[in-house]
A and B are shown apart, each in its own frame.
Chain A
């Protein structure tokens, strides 16, 4: 009896408050957070809304406590390894040493930034000096000198700083490389996938090639892509970021990451709802409209599944292809540190590993959000 009255009492105020326009709806916020792949925060959102606080507390503590516990155990095992895994030339750095190395990297990057700023500042000063000299020369009527001074001022202004690349620069280069490779994979993979999905003949024709090249490692692709880029791309100035090595590395990323996009697009296009195709038939849509209005939107969820897998693969092979191509990215960083061979360098490699993992995770989350945005609720009737 008491439960019955309880439930009715519980629903009455709810109905009233739902009339308010901007009401904090914990379930909705939590759902949105889940959708964004931030499910970790959804109990917190529910807690703010006062939704079963006890349960939310339990969830938050277990969500926070358990991963922290696991991470602590991981650090412990790492520490033990650092004690025992020791060779003549190198050893596994301890977590503390790694932390110090990280701080060193940050300091170095900051110092480098400072140096760069100073460099430009002093060049600017010199340029201004030259310009004043040019002016005095002009007043004196020495025209040939005016030209020379102005030329020198121009030179100082356009000089580009050529300091050491920092770890963070290299992350930037890596992201650019993977973006180029992934973009190319998308621009090739989606149209070819659509063709495969629409036409059985194209699918039959291309299937062996796809199956054959899908499992090939980036290390095997590298020499072949290298030939192509050496043949097709002129080496730019050393200050440009669009080095041949970047194109080579991006090409390897494309070749390794194109397959999930291509295959998922083909499957998505081939499995478009027959009812939706009937709509196209009844309306006698032309082939372009049929693809653009019916087939593409309907296969977008699967295309994005493919893209998400592709970017994962692309990021994973990037380090290897950067290493091979000597592209100024994270792979090069790892390679250089490996060549140094001391414990300090190994610590920096461990930092790089954490960054590679974190960035990969972020890229995946971004794609997950995109994927959820294009996935429409299927109609049930």
Chain B
């Protein structure tokens, strides 16, 4: 069976004055349709680089990416992106920020239908009272809710998230993880999410991809998370498996960190 999403020998080389800097090399990953994958790895190993190449915002220098049977070429609304900072347009209300994309994707739909779409997603992420607020009137968590609504409202083939909750406090983070998981449960979008948070990865993902340290980072190890869905935070945390996964991932990160230290002291 061929995969819905596939990267083959994906690589990124920057030309620098000191010669070529190979950041990512031979990054191979296959994903089924509707699968949720989290990517973890040492800081600076190239996670964001991979994600932005898949998004089409960063030029691919080696290999390629196939999504739903065709090779990607540049950015397009069939891949919804959510960054660490929500990147809302500050001069537009929450409504207009979502509507901008909806108009672009549903250009054949009637105005009424578009309005329904925007309203639906903004309500689902819990912003029913704040349609007309501008980003500077919203809290960080609320902005990221708009970011999620904007990405989901495009009905993309794939969802790409780069540490979307990295800047939020723990409580807000928990809320938003639930918002994301609920939305994902409804639509089952194929999703790739970068995170530094091991608990977040286990809570959300079907598989956790562990990247090797850079330079020339690739896929190191893959952990299957066999927890039943729909997931409930309390429930999964009461299972022993959860702690095995957690320990495994933490060990991996610790090893990478040690490796990094050794390299630095060697250099």
Whether, in the assembled complex, B197 has its beta carbon less than 8 Å from a beta carbon of chain A, the answer is no
Tell me whether A282 is interfacial, beta carbon within 8 Å. yes
Does A4 lie at the interface of the complex (its beta carbon under 8 Å from any beta carbon of B)?
Answer: no
Determine the residue in chain A with the shortest Cβ distance to B144: A381
Of residues 91 through 109 on chain B, the ones whose CB sits less than 8 Å from some CB of chain A are 91-92, 100-101, 104-105
Partner of B56, one of A281, A297, A376, A378: A281
Annotate B32-72 by CB proximity to A: 1 below 8 A, 0 otherwise: 00000000000000000000000111000000000000000
CA distance A312 to B1 in the complex (A): 70
* Complex: A67 Cα to B80 Cα, angstroms: 58
Q: Which residues of A contact B92 (CB under 8 A)?
A: 297
Query: Does residue A293 face the partner (Cβ distance < 8 Å to B)?
Result: yes
Which B residues lie within 8 Å of A378 (CB)? 90, 136
Q: Are A281 and B90 in contact (CB under 8 A)?
A: no
Q: Which residues of A contact B81 (CB under 8 A)?
A: 278, 282
Instruction: Given the known inter-chain contacts A293-B100, A379-B143, please indicate yes or no for A279 contacting B87, CB distance below 8 A.
Output: yes
Query: Which of chain A's residues have a CB closer than 8 A to the CB of B85?
Result: 275, 379, 381
Quick check: is A188 within 8 A (CB to CB) of the other chain? no
> Any chain B CB within 8 A of the CB of A298?
yes
Q: A9 an interface residue at 8 Å Cβ cutoff?
A: no
How far apart sit A377 and B89, CA to CA, in the bound complex (Å)? Answer: 11
Residues of B within 8 A of A381 (CB): 85-86, 140, 143, 167
Measured CA separation A279–B88 after assembly (Å): 8
Flag B91-133 by CB within 8 Å of A: 1 or 0 each. Answer: 1100000001100110000000000000000000000000000
Check if B134 is an interface residue, CB within 8 A of chain A. Answer: yes
User: Could you tell me if B76 and A284 are in contact, using CB atoms closer than 8 angstroms?
Assistant: yes
A49 to chain B, nearest CB (A): 24
A276 to B91, CA, bound (A): 11
For residue B260, CB closer than 8 A to chain A, the reply is no
Say how far A315's CB is from chain B's closest CB, in angstroms.
29
When chains A and B are docked, how far (Å) is the Cα of A273 from the Cα of B90?
A: 11
Within 8 A of B (CB), among A298-341: 298, 300
By a CB distance below 8 angstroms, the chain A residues around B101 are 282-283
By a CB distance below 8 angstroms, the chain A residues around B76 are 282, 284
Question: How many A residues touch B, CB cutoff 8 Å?
Answer: 20
Q: Is the CB of B135 within 8 A of A281?
A: no
Distance in Å from the Cβ of A299 to the closest Cβ of chain B?
11
A-B pairs under 8 A by CB, number = 67
Bound Cα distance A284, B104 (Å): 8
Q: For residues 269 through 300 of chain A, which have their beta carbon under 8 Å from a beta carbon of chain B?
A: 273, 275-276, 278-279, 281-285, 293-294, 297-298, 300
Per-position contact with A for B122-160: 1 when CB-CB < 8 Å, else 0? 000000000000111000100100000000001000000
A113 to B104, alpha carbons, bound, how many Å? 60
B104 touches A283 (CB 8 A): yes
- B87 x A377 contact (CB < 8 A): no
Interfacial chain A residues near B140, Cβ < 8 Å: 381
**Of A283, A297, A300, A379, which contacts B77 at CB under 8 A?**
A283
Query: Once the chains bind, are B136 and A379 in contact (CB under 8 Å)?
Result: yes
A282 to chain B, nearest CB (A): 5
Given contacts A275-B83, A376-B134, contact A282 B55 (CB under 8 A): yes
Residue of B nearest to A379 (CB): B135
Which residue of A276, A281, A283 is within 8 Å of B57 (Cβ)?
A281
Kindly provide the distance from the CB of A119 to the nearest chain B CB, expressed in whole angstroms.
Answer: 53
The contact of B87 among A276, A284, A293, A376, by CB within 8 Å, is A276
Contact flag A276-B89 (CB < 8 Å), given A283-B100, A381-B140: yes
The verdict on B12 contacting chain A, using a C-beta distance below 8 Å, is no
Q: In the complex, what's the smallest C-beta–C-beta distance from B114 to chain A, in angstroms? A: 14
Asked if B207 CB lies within 8 Å of chain A CBs, one says no
If A275-B83, A284-B77, A293-B100 touch, whether A377 touches B57 (CB-CB below 8 Å) is no
A376 touches B75 (CB 8 A): no
A279 & B90 in contact (Cβ 8 Å cutoff): no
Q: Closest residue of chain A to B135, judged by CB?
A: A379
Instruction: Check if B79 is an interface residue, CB within 8 A of chain A.
Output: yes
Q: A273-B87, A279-B87, A297-B92 are in contact. List 9 more A-B contacts (CB 8 A).
A: A283-B77, A283-B104, A284-B77, A297-B91, A300-B91, A376-B136, A378-B136, A379-B90, A381-B143
Give 30 A-B contacts (CB < 8 Å), ordered by A residue.
Answer: A275-B83, A276-B87, A276-B89, A278-B81, A279-B89, A281-B74, A282-B55, A282-B75, A282-B76, A282-B101, A283-B77, A283-B101, A283-B104, A283-B105, A283-B154, A284-B77, A284-B104, A285-B104, A293-B89, A297-B89, A298-B91, A376-B91, A376-B134, A376-B136, A377-B136, A378-B90, A379-B85, A379-B86, A379-B135, A381-B143
The interface of chain A, by Cβ under 8 A from chain B, is 273, 275-276, 278-279, 281-285, 293-294, 297-298, 300, 376-379, 381
* Contact surface of B with A, Cβ cutoff 8 Å: 55-57, 74-77, 79-81, 83, 85-92, 100-101, 104-105, 134-136, 140, 143, 154, 167
Shortest 5 CB-CB contacts between residues of A and residues of B: A377-B136, A275-B87, A381-B140, A281-B75, A297-B91
